[in-house]
């Protein structure tokens, strides 16, 4: 088995997955790339917190990131925006895979198809 598991973090927020994995085993879980972009705001608060805490983050719309620019990795983690799937919305207003944030699932799928990591962990 590998000495480290290379991680990429999509929809990283302030780094919840990273903190959890590093607390479990910082030597084994190595985050090699992270992306955070909130399309609904001009000020990217979560990305700023992530950058302050961990150094680097790709702070651009995941739909504009070329898959070849995403490093090779062993595990993709992501807490993609769930507002369009949430039970807090009524079925009449829920937009699912067609909503503004619901379509972000396809970025995960595209990355998985291009990079084929053996492990995936989604919230």
Q: Which residues are catalytic?
A: 82
How far apart are alpha carbons 120 and 8 in whole angstroms? Answer: 10
Residue for token pair 């994995």: 21
For 121, counting Cβ atoms within 10 Å of its Cβ (0-12 exposed, 13-18 middle, 19+ buried), the class is middle
Return all residues near 103 (Cβ < 8 A) that are at least 6 apart. 97
How far apart are alpha carbons 9 and 75 in whole angstroms? Answer: 9
């Amino acid at each position: 088995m590998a000495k480290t598991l290379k991680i990429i973090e999509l929809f990283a927020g302030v780094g919840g997955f990273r903190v959890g994995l590093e607390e479990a085993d910082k030597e084994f879980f190595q985050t090699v790339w992270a992306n955070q972009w909130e399309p609904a705001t001009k000020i990217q608060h979560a990305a700023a917190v992530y950058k302050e805490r961990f150094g680097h983050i790709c702070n651009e719309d995941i739909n504009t990131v070329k898959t070849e620019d995403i490093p090779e990795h062993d595990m993709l983690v992501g807490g993609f925006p769930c507002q369009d799937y949430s039970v807090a919305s009524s079925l009449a207003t829920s937009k699912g895979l067609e909503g503004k944030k619901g379509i972000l699932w396809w970025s995960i799928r595209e990355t998985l198809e291009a990079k084929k990591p053996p492990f995936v962990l989604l919230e």
